Amino acid sequence: MVTPEERALSLQGALVRSLRAYIVGLGLMVHPFLTGICHVYCIWYLMRFNEAPWDTVMKTRVRVVGPLFLPVLLFTVFFIVILVLLVLVLKPTFIQMLEMVRELAA
């Protein structure tokens, strides 16, 4: 994401943009009907004006660059580590739930 001056978006600007995208793009996911309306509106707006509605106010735009090797590698490693830790933490609960299901089935 870049500003109109072609500078990278600041952390505050990125947080505000993500909040706008959540509110406008997903309709806060309060009600499925509202979420559907927001999806249709965003697709219509994107097709008509060739930019997302949450980028209109700040005049930000997406600049596409090729994926960098190190960030992709770090993300993959952290993702796998988190999955392994999650499995280790939830394994006792999973075993307990499996025993409960077996008892109910018997």
Q: How confident is the model at residue 70 (pLDDT cuts 50, 70, 90)?
A: very high
Kindly give, in sequence order, each residue whose CB lies less than 8 Å from that of residue 22, ignoring residues fewer than 6 positions away: 28
pLDDT band, very low/low/confident/very high, at 29 (cuts 50, 70, 90): confident
Tell me which residue range forms the domain holding 85: 68-106
Contacts 24+ apart (CB under 8 A), 78-82: none
Do both 26 and 50 map to the same domain?
A: yes
Pairwise CA distance, residues 42 & 49, whole Å: 10
d(CA 2, CA 8): 5
Q: Give the span between the Cα atoms of 4 and 87, in whole angstroms.
A: 44
Q: With cut-offs at 50, 70 and 90, classify the pLDDT of residue 92.
A: very high
Same domain (yes/no): 93, 58: no
Supply the pLDDT for residue 63: 81
pLDDT for res 6: 86
